[in-house]
Amino acid sequence: MVFSRRFLLDAGVKATISLPLWMQTALAATPWSRHEQASRLRAAAYRQGQQNRLVVIDPGHGGRDPGCIGKGRLFEKDIALSASWDLRRTLERGGYHVMMTRERDFFVPLQGRVDFAEKHHAAVFLSIHANSVAPNTVVRGASVYTFAEHASDPLAQKIASLENSVERLSNPTFKGVSPQVGEILFSLMSHSTKVESLLLQKHAVGALARSVDMLQNPARHATFAVLQSAAIPSILVETAFLSNPEDEAALRTNAFRERIAQSMKNAVDAWFIAKQHAVANL
């Protein structure tokens, strides 16, 4: 069963989280093994967070970090920013509240990107990139990644190593509960986030496949530092390959980036609809 983390996170801060008093009382009074109590907590979590429509977009790289560079001298940091602005405008027209980890060409540490999303209580985190496997100029197409301790394949591992210096996030600390209950809460949050991230990935792959060329087996996973939040469903979208001349040329066009933006908006729509159905069935 998929369930939200906003109730569990309450304050929305990664390092220190204060649980509502009524939940602390419920935790103290009722063993976590009781299915009925767990179901009630999940239902409350869903209903508390279902109005949150904040999407945080993370344009990859920036500033001193150019990311990949195409043969036509297109920098990943620039195309990621342009594509992110296209996506932001598309989502805002659809009624979403949108924030970006960077709005200009400056450097943001990987940890800072995750902190930004958690500080602002994001419902969804979308990291936008363009990748490269130079000198290979044949591989092309979009792909969507979720976080995992082990990469799904060698290409995913290579791309993850290009996109980040792997950083580990510390587990949150829960106030008002025992360390044992805190561990249970973090485990629940992590599992919920992984499940919701996979659902978001599924919708993103499906939406993108209807409008742009896709990498073979486009749903992949690897140890991406910006996807490690235990609180926020997160995906990383590789829009195309800068090492492929056709993909690089496409990324320069407004039409291609707008197709990416509309596809991602459709994926976010589908994800929120799925969450609403889950709430209704609790």
* Average pLDDT of the residues of the chain: 82
Q: Is the pLDDT of residue 48 over 70?
A: no
**Fold category of 6-21+51-276 in CATH:** Aminopeptidase (3.40.630)
Using one digit for the tens of pLDDT, what is the confidence trace for 160-182? 887 765 455 555 555 566 777 76
Mean pLDDT lowest among 32-46, 63-77, 78-92, 241-255: 32-46
Beta bridge partner(s), residue 97? 54
Residue with token string 């009382």: 25
In this structure, the chain runs to a length of 282
Characterize 242-251 residue by residue with b for buried, 16 or more Cβ atoms within 10 angstroms of its Cβ, and e for exposed: bbbeebbebb
Query: What pTM was estimated for this model as a whole?
Result: 0.79
Residue located via tokens 């889950």: 278
State the pairing for strand pair 54-59/214-222: unpaired
Exposed/middle/buried for residue 7 (C-beta within 10 Å: 0-12, 13-18, 19+):
buried
Instruction: Give the per-residue pLDDT at 140.
Output: 96
Beta partners for residue 28, in sequence order:
none
Q: Please give the pLDDT value at position 176.
A: 62
Report pLDDT for 132.
Answer: 92
- For the record, the structure tokens of 233 come out as 């469903």
> What is the Cα–Cα distance from 105 to 157, expressed in whole angstroms?
27
Q: Where are the domains of the chain?
A: 6-21+51-276
Q: Is pLDDT larger for residue 113 or for residue 12? A: 113
Instruction: State whether residue 69 is helix, strand or coil.
Output: strand
